[in-house]
C-alpha cells in the first residue's frame, strides 16, 4: 500500500502516487558530477620568421585538422599533409604542383586546442571554403595573389576560423587586424582550450 505521505496533487488536481525511487547518478548530492563529451583536437603551427621570404617576415601560421594542413601562403592558399608541410614533398596548387623543402629549416611550435566535433567541423568547412575560393581566384588570375597583410594573411586566416568557435586569437586591446603569428601564439597559449604543445625544431 502507498501511504498518504507518498501521494501528491498535480497542478491539474489529480492524485499522483509514488511507484518507485531510483538514483540517477552513483554519486552523492555534494560530489562533482562528470560530464563526458567526446573532444577533438586541432593544431595551430606557428613558425619563426624569415626576412627574405615575401609575407614571412613576421613568421607563419597554419592549421592542422585530421592530418591536413591549411596554409595561407603569399602566392596562394594551399592544403597538404602534415609530413609534407614540415619535411617537404610535392604540393598541389591551383594550376600546378611544386616540390617544396618543408618548414624544418626554421623552428616551429604546434599548439593543440580542444574542440567539440561540431566546432571542428565548423573550422574545417570554413578552411575548405577558403582554399576553394582562393583556387578559383588563382585559376582566373594565375599571376596575381589575393594575399593581404591586413585581411587575408596566414595568421589572420587562422584567427578568423578560431574565433568562429569562440577561441580568442587576437589581443582585444588592439585592432583585430593585422594579427601577427607571434601575437596569435601568445594569445592561444593562454586559452583554456590549449591542452599541449609540440616542438618541431629546425634541422
Q: What is the pLDDT of residues 116-166, one digit of tens each?
A: 999 999 999 999 999 999 999 999 999 999 999 888 999 999 999 999 999
d(CA 167, CA 11): 45
Mean pLDDT of 162-179: 83
Q: Which of 12-26, 31-45, 161-175, 182-196 has the lowest mean pLDDT?
A: 12-26
Identify the H or E element spanning 111.
strand 108-116
Q: How far apart are the first and last CA of the chain?
A: 80
Q: What is the mean pLDDT of residues 181-193?
A: 93
Phi, psi dihedrals of residue 17, rounded to the nearest 5°: -110, 140
Name every residue whose Cβ is closer than 8 Å to that of residue 180 and which is 6 or more positions away in sequence: 58, 59, 155
More reliable by pLDDT, 123 or 14 = 123
Taking only the tens place, the pLDDT of each residue in 19-72 is 777 666 666 667 776 666 788 999 999 998 755 555 455 689 999 999 999 999
Residue-level pLDDT at 95: 94
Amino acid at each position: 500500500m502507498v501511504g498518504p505521505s507518498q501521494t501528491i496533487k498535480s497542478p491539474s488536481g489529480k492524485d499522483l502516487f509514488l511507484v518507485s525511487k531510483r538514483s540517477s547518478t552513483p554519486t552523492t548530492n555534494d560530489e562533482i558530477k562528470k560530464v563526458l563529451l567526446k573532444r577533438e583536437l586541432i593544431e595551430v603551427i606557428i613558425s619563426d620568421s624569415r626576412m627574405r621570404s615575401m609575407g614571412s617576415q613576421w613568421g607563419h601560421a597554419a592549421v592542422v585538422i585530421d592530418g591536413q594542413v591549411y596554409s595561407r601562403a603569399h602566392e596562394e592558399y594551399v592544403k597538404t599533409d602534415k609530413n609534407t608541410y614540415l619535411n617537404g614533398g610535392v604540393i598541389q596548387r591551383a594550376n600546378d604542383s611544386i616540390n617544396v623543402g618543408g618548414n624544418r629549416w626554421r623552428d616551429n611550435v604546434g599548439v593543440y586546442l580542444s574542440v567539440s566535433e561540431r566546432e571542428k567541423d565548423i573550422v574545417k568547412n570554413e578552411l575548405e571554403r577558403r582554399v576553394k575560393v582562393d583556387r578559383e581566384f588563382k585559376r582566373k588570375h594565375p599571376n596575381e595573389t589575393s594575399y593581404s597583410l591586413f585581411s587575408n594573411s596566414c595568421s589572420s586566416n587562422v584567427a578568423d576560423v578560431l574565433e568562429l568557435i569562440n577561441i580568442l586569437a587576437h589581443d582585444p586591446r588592439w585592432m583585430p587586424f593585422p594579427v601577427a603569428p607571434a601575437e596569435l601564439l601568445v594569445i592561444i597559449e593562454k586559452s583554456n582550450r590549449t591542452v599541449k604543445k609540440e616542438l618541431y625544431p629546425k634541422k
